[in-house]
């Protein structure tokens, strides 16, 4: 992907982010306490956030490829979000789960939490960047020192 | 009107804050992802922003893969922050009142320039340590609650469904354990 995209590309991404963030605030998923209450079985409402969002996006993923081939602002094909399965999905998922269960915070909800005025969430955001950097640093190193130094995952 | 009292009692126990704010919020989260998908074909996730933004400050090959998408990911994240700020300035501040929104009693609120803002009471060490693990885990595991949970599950991706089941179960176990150890909030 290059930078010579449609002039409306970034404005549209911004509008999508606005709706996404408003929804995270409205649903209270941007509040760590509410996520922790859900994980402790005290309030199952969060199921409606996760599955409600997945159903809405699922309709678009199913319908759009039948209506047209490519997206108007990028020319990219309408495809589903499919990632290859390997052991990393389980290992990474488990590490993410420990972090989510300890803090009640995930990336999108953390950005939204900042927007609701929760400056204490900067602790979580700092942690996320440190974790992502440590992981990327380690992966770059193993890729460079490995005998088959491929950059593909 | 005949309503089964058992159903009402169960709903009150499982959903003490009702379901409307959760359902409406979830639909909006999905709608935000859909707007981006329809216009661009991109199934957006929130966690790649962490790595792609690091490409501005690090030459490491791992981060440089994201140079092509880092600008729009910053725009997406700023949108999320501002969207939540719009929520704070309207619904959270009581400027817009709707029966679909249950204010809740978690955390504490404070006022700034006439806007009602909100602060968590979850301790900073939990947020920081949890954040580090979230940062590592979502990158190894190829996605987070929005990438896997919203776009991946919406795509009926087996990888994402397994990923969500994994982090959900581990998170439940962790939160229960931390609570059992007496850590609160």
CB atoms within 10 A of CB A33: 18
State the count of interchain CB pairs (< 8 A) between A and B.
Answer: 565
pLDDT at residue A147 in the model: 42
Q: Which residues of A touch B128 (CB under 8 A)?
A: 123-124, 126-127
Phi, psi of A75, rounded to the nearest 5 degrees: 75, 5
Contact flag A55-B21 (C-beta cutoff 8 Å): no
DSSP three-state, residue A108: helix
- Taking CA atoms, A101 is separated from B3, B61, B157, in Å, by 36, 31, 24
Task: Spell out a b/e string for A87-118, using b for 16 or more CB atoms within 10 Å of the CB, else e.
Answer: ebbbebbbbbbbbbbbbbbbbbbbbbbbbbbb
pLDDT at residue A152 in the model: 40
Select the residue of A8, A57, A100 nearest B33 (Cβ to Cβ): A57
Nearest CA in chain B to A74: B40
Select the residue of B77, B128, B151 nearest A111 (Cβ to Cβ): B77
Look at the alpha carbons of B25, A57, A101, B77 in this order and tell me if their dihedral is positive or negative. Answer: negative
Asked if B156 contacts A132 with a C-beta cutoff of 8 angstroms, the reply is no
DSSP-derived secondary structure letter, A121:
G
Residue to test with chain A: of B20, B123, B143, B154, most A Cβ within 10 A: B154
Contact flag A33-B120 (C-beta cutoff 8 Å): yes
pLDDT at residue A145 in the model: 67
pLDDT tens for the 153 residues of chain A, in order: 445 689 999 999 999 999 999 999 999 999 999 999 999 999 999 999 999 999 999 999 999 999 999 999 999 999 999 999 999 999 999 999 999 999 999 999 999 999 999 999 999 999 999 999 999 999 888 877 654 444 443
Select the residue of B78, B117, B125 nearest A17 (Cβ to Cβ): B78
Question: What does pTM read for this prediction?
Answer: 0.94
Phi, psi of B118, rounded to the nearest 5 degrees: -135, 145
Asked if A57 contacts B156 with a C-beta cutoff of 8 angstroms, the reply is no
- Asked casually if ipTM beats, i.e. exceeds, 0.85, the reply is yes
* Residue B160, both tokens: 């994402």
Question: Mapped to the 3 state alphabet, what secondary structure does B78-146 carry?
Answer: HHHHHHHHHHHHHHHCCCCCCCCCCCCCCCEEEEECCEEEEECCCCHHHHHHHHHHHHHHHHHCCCCCC
- Among B88, B54, B58, residue whose Cα is nearest residue A24: B88
Confidence of residue B59 (pLDDT cuts 50, 70, 90): very high
Segment B18-40 shows an average pLDDT of: 98
From A50's Cα to the closest Cα of chain B, the distance in A is 6
* Residue A41, both tokens: 């079985």
Q: What whole-number distance in Å separates Cα of residue B109 and Cα of residue B88?
A: 11
Return the percent helix, strand and coil in chain B, to nearest 5: 65, 5, 30
Nearest CA in chain B to A84: B159
pLDDT at residue A153 in the model: 38
State the average pLDDT for chain B: 96
Nearest CA in chain B to A69: B41
Phi, psi of B120, rounded to the nearest 5 degrees: -80, 155
Contact flag B82-A18 (C-beta cutoff 8 Å): yes
Return the percent helix, strand and coil in chain A, to nearest 5: 65, 0, 35
User: What confidence tens digit (pLDDT) does each residue in B133-184 have?
Assistant: 999 999 999 999 999 999 999 999 999 999 999 999 999 999 999 999 999 9
Interface of B with A in 72-131 (CB under 8 A): 72, 75-88, 91-92, 101, 104, 106-107, 110, 112, 115-122, 124-131
Confidence of residue B43 (pLDDT cuts 50, 70, 90): very high
């Amino acid at each position: 992907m290059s930078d010579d995209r449609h002039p409306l590309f970034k404005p549209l991404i911004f509008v999508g982010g606005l709706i996404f963030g408003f929804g995270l605030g409205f649903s209270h998923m941007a509040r760590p306490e509410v996520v922790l209450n859900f994980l402790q079985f005290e309030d199952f409402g969060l199921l409606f956030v996760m599955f409600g969002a997945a159903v809405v996006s699922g309709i678009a993923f199913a319908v759009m490829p039948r209506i047209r081939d490519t997206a108007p602002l990028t020319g990219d094909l309408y495809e589903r979000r499919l990632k290859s399965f390997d052991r990393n999905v389980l290992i990474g998922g488990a590490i993410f789960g420990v972090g989510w269960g300890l803090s009640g915070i995930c990336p999108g909800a953390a950005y939204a939490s900042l927007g609701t005025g929760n400056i204490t969430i900067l602790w979580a955001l700092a942690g996320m960047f440190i974790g992502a950097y440590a992981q990327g640093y380690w992966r770059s190193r193993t890729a460079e020192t490995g005998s088959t130094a491929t950059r593909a995952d | 009107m005949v309503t089964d009292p058992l159903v009402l009692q169960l709903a009150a126990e499982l959903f003490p804050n009702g379901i409307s704010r959760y359902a409406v919020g979830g639909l909006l989260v999905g709608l935000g992802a859909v707007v981006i998908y329809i216009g661009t074909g991109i199934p957006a996730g929130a966690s790649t922003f962490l790595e792609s933004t690091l490409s501005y400050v690090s030459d490491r090959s791992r981060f440089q893969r994201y140079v092509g998408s880092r600008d729009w990911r910053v725009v997406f994240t700023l949108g999320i922050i501002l969207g939540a700020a719009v929520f704070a300035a309207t619904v959270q501040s009581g400027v817009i009142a709707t029966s679909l929104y249950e204010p809740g009693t978690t955390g504490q609120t404070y006022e700034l320039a006439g806007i009602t803002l909100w602060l968590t009471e979850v301790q900073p060490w939990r947020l920081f340590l949890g954040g580090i693990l979230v940062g590592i885990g979502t990158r190894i595991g190829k996605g987070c609650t929005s990438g896997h949970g919203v776009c991946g599950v919406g795509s009926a991706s087996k990888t994402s469904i397994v990923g969500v089941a994994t982090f959900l179960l581990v998170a439940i176990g962790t939160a229960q354990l931390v609570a059992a150890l007496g850590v609160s909030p």
